[in-house]
Structure 1
């Protein structure tokens, strides 16, 4: 069966740990297997880290930049070098590739989100393998993906992929870091993300010296992908041929099962494409109405408003303890909601002086998280 595959490879797999130089044998093996999968008819997208790491090696820097401006400059140096290596290897295999650099802004605005989707579809239709990275040179801190695990999950969600492969420096997820805990237990299948809490899985928030991600970001990526109906696999980046073995059914790595009823594309955009501008705290009745019966959010159920936002901005909907239960687009600004929170819908026009929407967040613009 022909499928759409998103493969993310991290800096720890692309570079040599001690020097930060490119691990050319790994990259060559990756190019070979992805080209082979493309010849078999699969649609393939590669999300590649490494621009900053390669830039550091090129410039003789001994540690990852700490300021965003230096990181942007180093990424500009490294991205061209990284793409040249990819292009040389894929060209040898007669496989065309394309560079796609994204910022979070490309997914926040709905029209740009749709445009990115259309670009991917055209490239895949042409038999091209898009090579995706965050556009570190122009991204600002407030609009960064933070790590390419998140970026790859959002891309997998956007194109409605069948598989997301997260290639990293361990062979699978463990109950603790196997590099420091010898008797850490391997985990081969995760049916629900909540299962990891029951297994007391310990996750680090850092990868290698040159990378930004850790296992915690991969689990967060798996959550995004699962909600989109994408099966996610964490497996070792030094052996890219494991991708084909996993597709053939071998029990390698850790697999995260997708949700049986994935969210629609618009709701995935609301849940993961947008950056929330504020929080609404809800009483228990409102939480139950939203989570259990699929109702819209009314002003009467809001106990507190946090942050500054405008109409149609995304906000987090939280229970009284601050736990996010849903996310949605608001029909009122934060200033207006401060005036009408806790009040019945019939009172809104008298309070605000005009007739507004009956709902604060309509259920069509609301998604559980």
Structure 2
């Protein structure tokens, strides 16, 4: 086992939450356009093994369009974007059925999740999707994610499932992204045409020199819509979110001990998320808290309704807000769990009295500690 393989194996062994992306070239036989069931069962075995070790695993799976096109046949499928969307609509159910049949013997339940780019870039939808996926993972379910090709247009598409997988890894706070296709990692040149191409087992940082390798002779490696360039784009997204990336081949059956490329995370998951909240989002409102609440926030606690003095702004659930002390100094920023209208009804209200004030059970947390970044 070489250095690259050992690093990747350690990364997998230490990971808590894994996103496994599988390209269509691995799932669908290029000659018949039928599902490669033996390969799916092998991959399902890996996932089941990881879950048995206490990990949480989400699968990003391509293949719906190819399977749908096969079922429809050339004569039945219209051309253009509509034809591809129709094929995706037919093929997605076939794809999920194949995954369910691979996981059923291992007593694992699968769940279908179809996303467009808006779902990971619009805060409210992002929060809702994150909560749903988190609940599924906590229940031991295997979410199977694909782009919603039936409704996605060029304006709202990810364009390839490498970047979709990276955005999903960012969304759920994964610490490892595994990109499986028909290539076993990054090379200095295209190994199919250059016998002197050198495999790169470990990348500490995605420097311009490293990224340039993927825009040159390596760009076309991979049979799907991506290639090495999109894999490194995905790795950049993941690294900035605190997630390491393994680029590996699943062509002969995936193995953690096989040759691959490990790309290190640039930060931690928690630090990246806090930075996003504190430095990248413009507040939509302002919450003023009392001194006791301010001390609790500094100690890592959540913001509760009872600690609020006032709130202003036209914000909705999931929007970023600035949190101020009684003197008007900003002490934190966070994602609020109530819209402005409901929050105005529970300012200073004790937890036991919230349901009566709201007319429903909304919970005492206004901004959860996990969604809050302190201002240093």
Name the TM-score, length of structure 2 as normaliser: 0.65
The whole-number CA distance in structure 2 between the counterparts of 1:65 and 1:212 is 21
Match of 1:202 among 200, 212, 217: 217
Q: Which runs of 5+ in 2 are unaligned?
A: 1-13, 282-371
Match of 1:257 among 235, 248, 264: 264
CA contact (8 A) 2:183 2:221 kept: no
Post-superposition shift, 1:158? 0.9
Post-superposition shift, 1:21? 2.2
The whole-number CA distance in structure 1 between the counterparts of 2:152 and 2:212 is 37
- 2:34 corresponds in structure 1 to 21
CA contact (8 A) 1:157 1:268 kept: no
RMSD over equivalenced CA pairs, Å: 2.8
The whole-number CA distance in structure 2 between the counterparts of 1:35 and 1:239 is 19
The whole-number CA distance in structure 2 between the counterparts of 1:14 and 1:3 is 25
Q: Are 1:174 and 2:187 counterparts? A: yes
Counterparts of 1:32-51 in structure 2 under 5 Å? 32-51=45-64
Match of 1:215 among 228, 250, 254: 228
- 1:326 corresponds in structure 2 to none
Counterparts of 1:99-248 in structure 2 under 5 Å? 99-194=112-207, 195-197=209-211, 202-205=217-220, 207-208=222-223, 211-242=224-255, 245=256
For the residue of structure 2 that corresponds to 1:83, the secondary structure is: helix
CA contact (8 A) 1:5 1:43 kept: yes
Post-superposition shift, 1:85? 0.8
Name the TM-score, length of structure 1 as normaliser: 0.66
Q: Which runs of 5+ in 1 are unaligned?
A: 274-363
Change (3 A) 1:39 1:261: closer
Q: Are 1:30 and 2:38 counterparts? A: no
Post-superposition shift, 1:26? 0.9
CA contact (8 A) 1:72 1:136 kept: yes
* Deviation sequence 1:308-355 (CA, Å, 0-9, x none): xxxxxxxxxxxxxxxxxxxxxxxxxxxxxxxxxxxxxxxxxxxxxxxx
Match of 2:25 among 12, 18, 25: 12
Post-superposition shift, 1:179? 1.9
Change (3 A) 1:66 1:265: farther
Counterparts of 1:309-348 in structure 2 under 5 Å? none
Count of residue correspondences: 266
* Deviation sequence 1:88-119 (CA, Å, 0-9, x none): 11111111110011111212221111111101
More off after superposition, 88-97 vs 260-269: 260-269
The whole-number CA distance in structure 1 between the counterparts of 2:278 and 2:259 is 33
CA contact (8 A) 1:172 1:236 kept: yes
